[in-house]
Structure 1
């Protein structure tokens, strides 16, 4: 059985792509491309999961991912 983790990818001021998994504390990485950042975050998530007991995994069904539109 697989798990779908939310991931945020942002480009920083140096042009690198920083990927974070907000439901796993301290789970982040970077890459020169979006594809590289996504591959790296998969690896980072697996490493984080190795440190979390199965009964302490985050409840992913409570995660909402969306956009908020602000009209100033």
Structure 2
């Protein structure tokens, strides 16, 4: 390392599987009554998006993106 501390580039986390996403969704009260098939359907539509630390990703009052 030089006098200016350099930090190694972090390794991205592996993309979770649909099954892993469904398991996490099942823990949230909004999805508590969903059966396994419905959870899998929702999980299959999820996608991972990374943003740099401190970047504004949404602001109250802005219109959302509905895909």
Question: What TM-score results when the alignment is normalised by the length of structure 1?
Answer: 0.27
| Greater fraction of residues in strand | 1
Question: What TM-score results when the alignment is normalised by the length of structure 2?
Answer: 0.28
Higher relative contact order (CA 8 A, sep 6+): 2
> Which protein has the larger Cα radius of gyration, Structure 1 or Structure 2?
2
